[in-house]
Amino acid sequence: MIEDASDVLARIRLADGLAEALQDAAYVQESAAESAEVKRELFEQLDAAAAPEAILGSSTSAIPASVFMGELLHTGRALVAHPVNPPHLIPLVELCPSPWTAPETVRRAAEIMREVGQSPIVLSREIEGFVLNRLQWALLAEAMHLIGEGYCTPADIEAAVTDGLALRWSFIGPLEVGHLNATAGFVGYADGLAEAIARVQQSLRTDYRPDRDTIMQVQEAMSAVTPVARIPDAQLWRDRRIAALRRRRAEDERAMPRPR
Amino acid sequence: MIEDASDVLARIRLADGLAEALQDAAYVQESAAESAEVKRELFEQLDAAAAPEAILGSSTSAIPASVFMGELLHTGRALVAHPVNPPHLIPLVELCPSPWTAPETVRRAAEIMREVGQSPIVLSREIEGFVLNRLQWALLAEAMHLIGEGYCTPADIEAAVTDGLALRWSFIGPLEVGHLNATAGFVGYADGLAEAIARVQQSLRTDYRPDRDTIMQVQEAMSAVTPVARIPDAQLWRDRRIAALRRRRAEDERAMPRPR
């Protein structure tokens, strides 16, 4: 369903305080600073002020729920609901329960996310960085290793992803890439490349901590593409490109349905 | 430049043997089985039969050039030129010299690749898996860890990439994603998330070797999406989707130029 921006804006209301904001709320999305202290204090206030059946979701991108949801009175209705930047354009939301989150809370949160057009995934239990940032930072860590040890440049990393990996990943995931690369499917891919994958895995440096020179080398390369002063404009550009890509992808999915 | 398929096909010629195939060849792309033995023997034959100034490129996806190019008479003109599947639609090519490859060979190979519309990156020296498969297998290893230890399902991994990471990566790389996520650019992203990234990095399991049950769990999940018998059809579908995506992306790039 496509709506006018003005109709959507008319449903958004700024509140002067928590009590007013939480009145009649069925779902609360906390998006405060990425600090366990800040979130712990805020969740205590949310828990005290919201109706007991309201779901409390946190936007934290890496802090496990148990670190700041343990002391709540109604801890069963709180969970992590990690959106991805820019959250109004990226459909993925990671739902991650704390050890005390009620299964019904996870189920309802996933339902609400699907109702508003998001694409929720549900973790069975806590882990630092959830799924998305673990995958992203595994790739980024090895990228920094390759740059830091001089194997390639920041521009080479960007090309390997935008002109290589992501042309497939934007509509089939990393597992299906393997499934479609072998006549026997994923098991054929995994078996056929087992030795090569194992050798590469042993030399991956996803524990690599880049030094200051390497971080500054990336900063300079990225600033040559987008100067720091132009980042706000580039963020708008990125958002428009993502919106266009999602429209295009939906059209392609309709025009070229997957063979079943 | 867009050409008719029939014009392109008319330039392709099958040869009965190496001598005929290599006559007047300026560039040779070896794409035999992924075996060091097979490639060593074939490169010796290519080296003997091709004109000495012809470049010999290998399609190997993970074997370093020095493993099978060391014994050549003209070893300076041989290098790895790793294409990405499907190679006629993915522009990335990884050029990786052996310790004996002449710099001029790398320069000319990159020029030829750009002339035919490919997007070459150049590694400074050898490393197992080059850039693309190191990045891909770092992400895949952590994905298998999350599935194997029961944190999430294969479908969750696919959604995290297709509905999350790749919506950005299909036109900005992993470094620029960070650059545009912080007002100070990449250095702000790296510093602001340093603690979270370090904690997640320490718990990544990119050395994870999935057991048979985990591989079969992925095989079953992927077969539910694309049955093994439909893989040939799904490969054609994948190829058409990639071709459409590249056209769409080129249109979006013209309609929405990056702010400079």
Residues of A in contact with B246 (CB under 8 A): 167
**Contact call for B146 and A158, based on CB within 8 A:** no
The beta-carbon neighbor of A185 closest among B139, B150, B223 is B223
CB B198 within 8 A of CB A166: no
Overall residue count recorded for chain A in this entry: 260
- DSSP string of chain A, one letter each residue: ----HHHHHHT----SSHHHHHTT-SEEEE---S-HHHHHHHHHHHHHHS-TTSEEEE--SS--THHHHTT-TTGGGEEEEEE-SSTTT--EEEEEE-TT--HHHHHHHHHHHHHTT-EEEE-SS--TTTTHHHHHHHHHHHHHHHHHTTSS-HHHHHHHIIIIIHHHHTTS-HHHHHHTTSTT-HHHHHHHTHHHHHHHHHH--TT----HHHHHHHHHHHHHHS-GGGHHHHHHHHHHHHHHHHHHHHHHHHHSPPP-
Q: Dihedral sign, CA of A35, A36, A38, A42?
A: positive
Beta bridge partners of A29: A57
Report the gap between the CA of A231 and the closest CA in chain B (Å). Answer: 6
Per-residue confidence (pLDDT) for residue A70, from 0 to 100: 86
Q: Give pLDDT, residue A51.
A: 94
Query: Does A67 reach chain B within 8 Å, measured CB to CB?
Result: no
Shortest distance, CA A125 to any CA of chain B (angstroms): 6
Averaged confidence pLDDT in chain B: 95
By percentage, how much of chain B surpasses pLDDT 70? Answer: 100
The answer to whether B173 and A152 are in contact (CB under 8 A) is no
- For B217, the token pair is 């769990």
User: pLDDT value at position B162?
Assistant: 97
Would the CB atoms of B158 and A141 count as touching at under 8 Å?
A: no
Per-residue CA distances from A242 to A6, A116, B27, B242, B260 (Å): 21, 18, 39, 17, 19
Shortest Cα–Cα distance, B51 to chain A (Å): 31
Whether B112 contacts chain A with CB within 8 A? no
Contacts of A104 (CB under 8 A, 6+ apart): none
pLDDT at residue B73, as a whole number: 87
Q: How many Å lie between the alpha carbon of A234 and the closest alpha carbon of chain B?
A: 6
Task: Please give the span between the terminal C-alpha atoms of chain B, in angstroms, as a whole number.
Answer: 27
For B62, the closest chain A residue by CA position comes to A196
Give the pLDDT of residue B71: 86
| Alpha-carbon torsion angle B131, B134, B135, B136, nearest 10 | 120
For this complex, say whether ipTM is above 0.90. yes
Could you tell me the CA-to-CA distances from B43 to A202, B20, B48 in Å, in that order?
28, 16, 8
* pLDDT tens, position by position, B88-101: 999 999 999 999 99
* B19 to chain A, closest Cα gap in Å: 31
Mutation site, A176, A177, A193, A216, interface B, largest B CB count within 10 A:
A176
pLDDT of residue B1: 62
Q: A58 and A78 in contact (C-beta within 8 Å)?
A: yes
For A144, nearest residue in chain B (alpha carbons): B175
Sign of the Cα pseudo-torsion (B23, B25, B31, B33, in order):
positive
Q: Is B163 on the interface with A (CB under 8 A)?
A: yes
- Considering only CB atoms, A256 lies closest to which of B129, B208, B241, namely B241
Averaged pLDDT, B49-67: 93
Structure tokens at A170: 């934007």
Which residues does chain A have within 8 Å of residue B162's beta carbon, measured at their own beta carbons?
Answer: 169-173
Q: Is B127 within 8 Å of chain A by CB? A: yes
CB atoms within 10 A of CB A120: 20
Report yes or no: A206 at the B interface, CB cutoff 8 Å. yes
* SS3 sequence of B10-73: HCCCCCCCHHHHHCCCCEEEECCCCCHHHHHHHHHHHHHHCCCCCEEEECCCCCCCHHHHCCCC
In terms of Cβ atoms closer than 10 Å to its own Cβ (0-12, 13-18, 19+), residue B17 is: exposed
Predicted confidence pLDDT, tens digits, chain A (260 residues): 678 999 999 999 999 999 999 999 999 999 999 899 999 999 999 999 999 999 999 999 888 899 999 888 899 999 999 999 999 999 999 999 999 999 999 999 999 999 999 999 999 999 999 999 999 999 999 999 999 999 999 999 999 999 999 999 999 999 999 999 999 999 999 999 999 999 999 999 999 999 999 999 999 999 999 999 999 999 999 999 999 999 999 999 999 999 98
**What is the bridge-based pairing of β-strands A92-97 and A55-58?**
unpaired
B160 with A125: Cβ contact below 8 A: no
Burial label for A52, CB within 10 Å (0-12, 13-18, 19+), is exposed
Residue B112 Cα, gap to closest chain A Cα (Å): 17
Residue B169, pLDDT above cutoff 70:
yes
The arrangement of strands across the sheet holding B55-58 comes to: B27-30, B55-58, B78-83, B92-97, B119-122
Q: What is the side-by-side strand order in the sheet with A27-30?
A: A27-30, A55-58, A78-83, A92-97, A119-122
Contact of B61 with chain A, judged by CB distance below 8 Å, is answered with yes
3-state DSSP call for residue B257? Answer: coil
| A141 interaction partners in chain B (CB closer than 8 Å) | 138, 197, 201, 204
pLDDT of residue B70: 86
Contact criterion met (CB below 8 Å) for A214 and A147: yes
* pLDDT score of B124: 97
B129–A196: do the CB atoms touch at under 8 Å?
Answer: yes
Distances (CA, A) of A154 to A142, A147, A159, A192, B136: 12, 6, 9, 31, 16
Between B34, B232, B259, which is nearest A237 by CB?
B259
Per-residue model confidence (pLDDT) at position A54: 97
Q: Which pLDDT does position A1 carry in this prediction?
A: 62
pLDDT at residue B188 in the model: 97
Which of A135, A187, A210 has its CB closest to that of B161? Answer: A135
The minimal CB distance from B125 to the residues A151, A181, A196 is found for A151
Contact B39, B68 (CB under 8 A): yes
Angle at A77 between CA A73 and CA A78, to 5 degrees: 85
Select from A173, A217, A146 the least CA-distant residue to B135.
Answer: A146
Bridging pattern class, strands A119-122 and A92-97: parallel
pLDDT of residue A181: 94
The pLDDT, as a whole number, for residue B41 is: 96
Closest of B146, B149, B218, B155 to residue A138, by C-alpha: B146
